[in-house]
Amino acid sequence: MNTVLTTGVAAGACLGCGHVNAAAQPPAATVTRCGGCGHRVLLTWVRGIHNDTVPCDARCQYAVGPACSCSCGGRNHRRGYIDPGLVPAYIRERDAQRHADRLARAAAKSAAARAAHADRMAALLETYPILEGLLDGRYDGDTGFMGDMRTALERGAMTDRQITAAENALERDAARERTRAERDAERAALAATGVVLAEGRRVLEGEIVRVSHKESHFGHHEKTIWQITVRLADGCQVMGTLPADLRPTSYTGGGLDDQDSWQWHMARLAGRTVAFIATVARSTRDVTFGFYTRPAKARFTA
């Protein structure tokens, strides 16, 4: 037996309809359109082994796979499919049955996998009920961390570290939702009384109710910008950049180069009362909320 490699015929079965496509002269690309349904089909070339003890017949000429081991050495392999009109009915029926069997096996495998995922997810939810929050509609389409955790839960394959991280994230999100709901209710009640945030350059005095920060990128430099939200005496709130006079370095006397030191001091700003001059612009969505710019003469009042 001598191995004969030939590219005389390229063929492939469509995964969509099962139709076998073949070409006498292989196209430049290995992908073509199915003659039965128009879907993309991957073509493969014949790998033949010359074997005089095996006659070349319909088993070779209407084979689906690329390997040939008969007297033609691969020269006639799958050639019967080149002209679809000449393919015998029993061959089409055989190929259709093979395709149906393939689909049935794939469906059974998929169903078994889904059942296994559902069982493992149910076991996780029974042990960690808080994880049910990952199935909430607010995480639909999430492409970040929570989306990944939701996918892991649905597959029933969460590690201990993932479970702990997901629980912490769910608790944080729930706390944010509660805070947002309380804040919205407070603002709605305040707006109902007719209170409106005054605009313009003015003195602002009140309690810092929130401290946040964001990263700013200018060229090759990264800078952390700290912001505070201040509740004024009339209940209105304003947000803006932390005034320089209130930065920790202005009252600690040190550089505070260590990030932990910054975090420690900044975390303790909430609850302190401050006064400063700034220019206020009212929010277009909430008459009791606004943003301040150009803060000056800031100081702690208590």
CB 12 within 8 A of CB 58: no
Stretch 118-142: mean pLDDT, rounded? Answer: 92
- Kindly list the structural domains of the chain, giving each domain's residue range(s) and its CATH number in brackets, ordered by start: 2-87 (no CATH), 107-193 (no CATH), 197-300 (2.40.50)
Contacts of 1-5 with C-beta under 8 Å, sequence gap 24+, read: 1/49, 1/50, 1/51, 1/69, 2/49, 2/50, 2/73, 3/48, 3/49, 3/50, 4/48, 4/49, 4/50, 4/73, 4/74, 4/75, 5/47, 5/48, 5/74
Q: 197 or 257, which is more confident? A: 197
Query: pLDDT for 226-272, tens place per residue?
Result: 899 999 999 999 999 999 888 876 555 555 555 556 677 777 888 99
Mean predicted confidence (pLDDT) in 50-58: 89
Whether residue 31 has pLDDT greater than 60 = yes
Please tell me which of 82-86, 156-160, 180-184 the model is most confident about, judged by mean pLDDT.
Answer: 156-160
In a 10 Å sphere around its CB, with 0-12 CB exposed, 13-18 middle and 19+ buried, how is residue 71 labelled?
A: middle
User: pLDDT tens-digit profile of 3-26?
Assistant: 555 556 788 888 888 888 887 765
Share of the chain above pLDDT 70, in %: 89
73-101 pLDDT, tens digit each = 888 888 888 888 888 889 888 888 988 99
pTM confidence score: 0.53
Confidence of residue 33 (pLDDT cuts 50, 70, 90): confident
Q: What is the pLDDT of residue 1?
A: 44
Q: Report yes or no: 149 and 165 within 8 Å, Cβ to Cβ.
A: yes
